[in-house]
């Protein structure tokens, strides 16, 4: 059972807290499935070193909460007076050092309740969903399976299990709905289609005829959500990215941050299972991260000029949210 039901959010206006980041470098001991010796990675050393944020310690001032994190956080019982404070996850000195670098996501999988609601959105026995620490879009979430038999596998190997793949795809669908609702909450007031719907709804309140006018459907924000895995995952624990299509974020700082989500290096979850001869199984050989920078919206080619692309993404973001 989830700590909350996703459907309970349908009538609530909610807001995201900070996002979290997962993309990290493989350790040399981990070999990619079907990958040649030439590999590519989508992260930086700084991001690898700062994967896991330690849980809030007792006695510190908690960060400001908001409606979304309050709703999505698991409800924890009050601490027992019989339990020594030193035995809690928050006060365990080893808690912040066990999962380092490429193993950082393991901390969320092992003990999600020890993290604040601004980091862990929800969890149950099978899944943990977190906000990305280094978001590459205005919304960027991660789905972490907790199955010990799957959590350390490359997704190409893990998704060979058809039943497991179906479970992952079903959970991703739920998270995509959440993300789409959040896009509407954040940007609906800027959207032309949503504005038309709101005006029609306001008009209905004053409508006295026995028949009602047609109400525009408004914008379908679900079409602005993408989900998938990296062909060469940077973290050792299996994870799926769910993010908005805008790729507009201060954390988008390098060309590979963009190409890792804008080329076949990013493999949509719905494309699995992959054929054996699928070129995406050989991301290093194909050099996806070295491809030209092409705008996701207007398809303009910026070559290797990342700074110019970044400026352009800001312009496209403003136009996109007004659609």
Please list, residue by residue across 279-309, b when 16 or more beta carbons sit within 10 angstroms of its beta carbon and e when fewer do.
Answer: ebbbbbebebbebebbbebeeeebeeebeeb
Q: Could you give the CA distance from residue 71 to residue 133 in angstroms, rounded to a whole number?
A: 20
CA–centroid distance for 316 within its chain: 21
Q: Is 191 helix (H, G, I), strand (E, B) or coil?
A: coil
Contact 23, 240 (CB under 8 A): no
C-alpha distances (whole Å) from 273 to each of 35, 125, 162, 284 are: 17, 25, 8, 20
Residues in CB range of 43: below 8 A, 6 or more apart: 23, 24, 25, 234, 256
Residues in CB range of 63: below 8 A, 6 or more apart: 56, 116, 118
239 as an active site residue: the answer is yes
Q: What is the dihedral of CA 204, 209, 210, 214, to 10 degrees?
A: -40
The 10 Å Cβ neighbour count of residue 135 is 23
The candidate with the shortest Cα–Cα distance to 180, out of 6, 40, 2, 1, is: 6
Q: Is 195 helix (H, G, I), strand (E, B) or coil?
A: helix
Query: Among residues 26, 230, 237, 239, which one is catalytic?
Result: 239
Sign (positive/negative) of CA torsion 288, 291, 293, 296?
negative
User: Largest alpha-carbon pair distance within the chain?
Assistant: 72
Q: Could you give the CA distance from residue 242 to residue 16 in angstroms, rounded to a whole number?
A: 14
**Active-site residue list:** 239
């Amino acid at each position: 059972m989830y700590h909350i039901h996703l459907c309970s959010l349908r009538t609530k206006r909610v807001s995201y807290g900070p996002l979290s980041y997962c993309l990290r470098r493989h350790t040399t001991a981990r070999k990619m499935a079907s990958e040649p010796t030439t590999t590519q990675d989508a992260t930086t050393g700084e991001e690898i070193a700062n994967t896991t944020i330690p849980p809030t310690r007792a006695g510190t001032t908690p960060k400001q909460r908001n409606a979304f994190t309050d709703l999505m956080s698991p409800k924890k019982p009050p601490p027992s007076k019989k339990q020594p404070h030193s035995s809690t996850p928050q006060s365990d000195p080893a808690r912040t050092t066990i999962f380092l670098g490429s193993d950082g996501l393991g901390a969320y999988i092992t003990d999600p309740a020890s993290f604040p609601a601004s980091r862990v959105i929800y969890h149950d026995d099978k899944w943990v969903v977190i906000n990305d620490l280094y978001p590459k879009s205005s919304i960027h979430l991660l789905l972490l399976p907790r199955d010990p038999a799957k959590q350390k596998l490359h997704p190409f190997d893990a998704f060979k299990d058809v039943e497991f793949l179906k479970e992952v795809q079903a959970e991703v669908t739920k998270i995509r709905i959440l993300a789409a609702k959040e896009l509407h909450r954040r940007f609906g007031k800027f959207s032309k289609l949503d504005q038309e719907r709101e005006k029609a709804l306001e008009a209905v309140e004053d409508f006295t005829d026995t028949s009602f006018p047609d109400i525009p459907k408004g914008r379908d924000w679900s079409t602005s959500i993408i989900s998938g895995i990296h062909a060469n995952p940077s973290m050792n624990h299996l994870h799926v990215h769910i993010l908005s299509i805008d790729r507009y974020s201060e954390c988008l700082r390098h060309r590979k941050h963009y190409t890792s989500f804008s080329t076949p290096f990013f493999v949509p979850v719905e494309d699995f299972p992959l054929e054996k001869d699928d070129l995406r199984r050989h991301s290093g050989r194909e050099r996806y991260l070295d491809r030209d920078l092409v705008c996701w919206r207007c398809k303009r080619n910026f070559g290797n000029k990342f700074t110019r692309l970044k400026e352009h993404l800001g312009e496209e973001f403003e136009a996109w949210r007004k659609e």
